[in-house]
Structure 1
Amino acid sequence: MFHHLNITVPVAEDPKWNSKPAWKLPGWAEPIIVATILFGAMFMTRRRNFRIFDTRASLASPLDHYHSNSSSSRLVPYESDSDSDYDHVSTSKFAPKLRKCCGFIIELPNTSRFRNNIHSRILQRFPFLNEMLYWIINYAFYRMTAIASQALFASSGIWNVAQEHGIAVLEAEEYGFLSFLFPIHERQVQQWFMHGHQDALTVLNKAYALIHIPGTVGFICWYYYVAPSFETFAIARRTLTLTNFCAFITFIVYPCMPPRLLPAAYGFLDTVRHDDAQSVWMSGKYVNTLAAMPSMHFGYAFCIGMTIIYHSGVFRRTLERGEYRKTPLAKLFYLALGIGYPAFILTTIVATANHYFMDALLAVGFVFLSFFCNKIFYVFIPLEDLFLYLIRADKPIPSTGDRFHKRGGRI
């Protein structure tokens, strides 16, 4: 045994990399997979009783249509919660909307006057397009974290700072007051796979590269389609979005080097690169390689897992309007998936030396914080109203739950 910067690392001869190389997708395959999922969801969630070029039949009358202005259908539930009392409804055809924001009442233009514009009608036909737009904005914010963090730590050198933070995480796990939460260390997990289970590690390498983005996008698409109401879907989506922004702020102010990039003395191997299994989404100059803390791989997986468990109905006595109680076999399936998916992702991020256990713990904390504070996005409702007015578009009515209620589907 030897001590290196207070971290105890057992001396062991690292085995040679003997696994079969991971199957490498061509660079264009991953974007095609994600695009297929997104546009497939756009088609599946289309409003079937609405025609883009048939302007003779409007989706709703002006007085009925004011509901589409009662909240942000992309950042908050379509059915207004706290701000519906402030919407102005009168006999005026396009009466201004009154919004409550930060304790003030703001008068904003009514976008329903634009409901017959071609881009408004496209959005009404394919309301999932708005979900796609907001996740593109999310991804753009992530891309900016590396630039912002480098600018913040330009004087001290971001690489050195991130390495110090990575070592500090290992020290906290081994000697900190929360060390009892980490009876197993990351190196032990990777070494178990390295000694006799390298083929399994190759699978995890590919899973780390391919599951994160397509899996999360697939979940958003699936839940938009199967959720019994848009409000239920919006809670999950707002929680994911706020978790994102909590992580983005942490990436900027606390750059953290993943275990795989630490000096070789710490005993970690960059198995993903050894297998040449990197994702196209995680490469390029704008990717933040020093963003280990927290793990958004696990943050997403945990949020998805909790949503699936909620969807199973195992721990619920009441059902939403139009929702059918699932069979015992379906409940068991969703429960196993809700527990198994986060557990698999946790094993993946640690075995591939991309994250520390503490990264996952902080991600869980952010998910809970985001769940309880997800309505903070209501403050963006006036901005969305103004944006829609500037582009002369009316916000679409979400289609989540439509077919579920009309057909009595059981999903």
Structure 2
Amino acid sequence: MGKPDTITYPVEDPVWNSKPAWVLPGWAEPVMVASILFGAMYMTRRRDYSVFRQSRNRHKTILDDEPGSDLSSDSLLHYDSENEDDAQDPIAASKHMPKQRKCCFGFVVQTPNTSRFKNNFHSRILQKFPFLIEMFYWIINYAFYRMTAITSQRIFAKTGIWNVAQAHGIKVLEVEHLSWLSFLFPVQERQVQQWFMRGHQDALTFLNKAYALIHIPGTVGFICWYYYIAPSHPTFAVARRTMTLTNFLAFLTFIFYPCMPPRLLPKEYGFLDTVRHDDAESVWMSGKYVNSLAAMPSMHFGYAFCIGLTLVYHSGLFRRTLERGEMRKGPFWKLFYLFVGLAYPVFILTVIVATANHYIMDALVSACYVFIAYSCNKIFYVFLPLEDWFLWLLRAEKPIPSTGERFREYGGRI
């Protein structure tokens, strides 16, 4: 196929024969997400840890030891002063000594020791339900996303953000299909959507719904599932920090490079807004603070790509040894995780292009962001002193994560 001379097409009113999809009530998605989160909070709770009295069982943590008591070598090995996942050095905790946090360029910062607040009621709630910390992290993520639209609008107030975003969207198409980089994009987004429009409109309706319903519930569901099943909290935290840093890289791009999705471009560019036809916009994609001009990069694909890589890693097929605490998987489960890890990003790529919500370049950029985020994910350690001070102000102690505990209790071997 030769390089096209133009990216515009004669304006045609496409014939849409598919019936509009059933519209979910506005409360359905928030209830779905809340159910997943609170279900995970319940599933990863410490069953025999009591909020109302001291725990006297095998789930007793290093924070429950009295000063001067003998500590096992296992507890000492568990501590890593550079790791966000450990609440406190057991000896320092028993004496309420300040924490030593390593920051950038080797600097060591002393922060308050919050272990003295371990028996406060809200600290014990966190210890009973440690997944609450993960829920708090993602609430912060969502709050930052909500602010991108306002910030971007203020930056481009004089030129008009709609015009800027439209120009950026057209530029993306020109780079993909008219520049020397066109060999990276052998298929045009319009061709993908047109294939579904010509005889596969019911499938396109399904993809519209998938675009709306999979992104937030699916990503939240993955975080909950991996917290439950991961072999260790450090392993889980790498995936979580990678997704979070990918988020912030994307948020910066949303602010300084607003980009109109293909479906909102003028008609001569050949795209149909099937999302509006199906009334398939997610409740998370509507409202005053939603950034509808944030096509670049695609966080739908960014999340899917990160999830896919994690599942491929979790399959164990490309690792010679198991992690400490990791259960051995049978051949079926290894192939299952590999298949889902490869198929899920491909499916999401099809969804975002067929529904004209994103350009193929959006997916490529988001994949690059995932690799950058993975390489730099420990940058979030610089915020540990702030977290220590925040917990000090709240008079709360950070709980020791329960990642993978319940799964191993049930003898998980997949």
Match of 1:32 in 2: 31
1:194 to 168, 181, 197: 197
2:307 to 304, 308, 326: 304
**Cα distance in 2, alignment partners of residues 69 and 118 from structure 1:** 25
Q: Specify whether residues 67 and 123 from structure 1 end up closer, same or farther in structure 2 by C-alpha distance, changes over 3 A only.
A: farther
- The answer to whether structure 1 residue 51 and structure 2 residue 50 are counterparts is yes
**Cα distance in 2, alignment partners of residues 67 and 253 from structure 1:** 45
Q: For residues 2-25 of structure 1, give each alpha carbon's deviation from its aligned partner in whole angstroms, at most 9, with x where no partner exists.
A: x99x73334474431110211111
Which deviates more from structure 2 when the two are superposed, residues 17-26 or residues 221-230?
A: 17-26
**Cα distance in 2, alignment partners of residues 213 and 296 from structure 1:** 10
Match of 2:291 in 1: 288
**Cα distance in 2, alignment partners of residues 266 and 217 from structure 1:** 35
**Cα distance in 1, alignment partners of residues 113 and 152 from structure 2:** 40
- The answer to whether structure 1 residue 7 and structure 2 residue 6 are counterparts is yes
**Cα distance in 2, alignment partners of residues 341 and 54 from structure 1:** 45
Q: For residues 219-244 of structure 1, give each alpha carbon's deviation from its aligned partner in whole angstroms, at most 9, with x where no partner exists.
A: 00000000010011000000000000
How do 1:371-410 and structure 2 match up within 5 A?
371-410=374-413
> Cα offset for 1:322?
2.8
Corresponding residue SS for 2:260 = coil
What amino acid is aligned across from residue 112 of structure 1 in structure 2?
S
Counterpart contact for 2:7–2:173, Cα < 8 Å: no
Q: Specify whether residues 56 and 332 from structure 1 end up closer, same or farther in structure 2 by C-alpha distance, changes over 3 A only.
A: closer
Corresponding residue SS for 2:101 = strand
Match of 2:103 in 1: 101
Counterpart contact for 2:196–2:354, Cα < 8 Å: yes
**Cα distance in 1, alignment partners of residues 40 and 192 from structure 2:** 37
What amino acid is aligned across from residue 362 of structure 1 in structure 2?
V
Match of 1:23 in 2: 22
1:350 to 349, 353, 358: 353
What amino acid is aligned across from residue 214 of structure 1 in structure 2?
P
> Cα offset for 1:71?
5.9
Match of 1:133 in 2: 136
What amino acid is aligned across from residue 149 of structure 1 in structure 2?
S
**Cα distance in 2, alignment partners of residues 374 and 230 from structure 1:** 15
Counterpart contact for 1:254–1:293, Cα < 8 Å: yes
Corresponding residue SS for 1:217 = helix
Match of 2:65 in 1: 61
Gaps of 5+ in 1: none
**Cα distance in 2, alignment partners of residues 90 and 301 from structure 1:** 41
> Cα offset for 1:174?
0.7
Corresponding residue SS for 1:329 = helix
Match of 1:335 in 2: 338
**Cα distance in 1, alignment partners of residues 36 and 19 from structure 2:** 29
Identity, in percent, stands at 70
Counterpart contact for 1:71–1:381, Cα < 8 Å: no
1:260 to 260, 263, 266: 263
What amino acid is aligned across from residue 34 of structure 2 in structure 1?
A
| TM-score of the aligned structures, taking structure 1 as reference length | 0.92
For these two proteins, the number of residue pairs brought into alignment is 400
Q: Specify whether residues 93 and 164 from structure 1 end up closer, same or farther in structure 2 by C-alpha distance, changes over 3 A only.
A: same
**Cα distance in 2, alignment partners of residues 232 and 179 from structure 1:** 38
What amino acid is aligned across from residue 20 of structure 1 in structure 2?
K
What amino acid is aligned across from residue 65 of structure 2 in structure 1?
S
Counterpart contact for 2:44–2:406, Cα < 8 Å: no
Q: Specify whether residues 344 and 263 from structure 1 end up closer, same or farther in structure 2 by C-alpha distance, changes over 3 A only.
A: same
| TM-score of the aligned structures, taking structure 2 as reference length | 0.91
Q: Specify whether residues 327 and 252 from structure 1 end up closer, same or farther in structure 2 by C-alpha distance, changes over 3 A only.
A: same
Corresponding residue SS for 1:9 = coil
Corresponding residue SS for 1:8 = coil
- The answer to whether structure 1 residue 163 and structure 2 residue 162 are counterparts is no
Report the RMSD for the aligned CA atoms in angstroms. 2.3
Which deviates more from structure 2 when the two are superposed, residues 34-43 or residues 53-62?
A: 53-62
Counterpart contact for 1:7–1:170, Cα < 8 Å: no
Counterpart contact for 1:114–1:120, Cα < 8 Å: yes
Corresponding residue SS for 2:108 = strand
> Cα offset for 1:121?
0.2
**Cα distance in 2, alignment partners of residues 328 and 28 from structure 1:** 41
Counterpart contact for 2:92–2:98, Cα < 8 Å: no
Q: Specify whether residues 286 and 120 from structure 1 end up closer, same or farther in structure 2 by C-alpha distance, changes over 3 A only.
A: same
Q: For residues 293-316 of structure 1, give each alpha carbon's deviation from its aligned partner in whole angstroms, at most 9, with x where no partner exists.
A: 000000000000110111111111
Corresponding residue SS for 1:252 = helix
Counterpart contact for 1:69–1:395, Cα < 8 Å: no
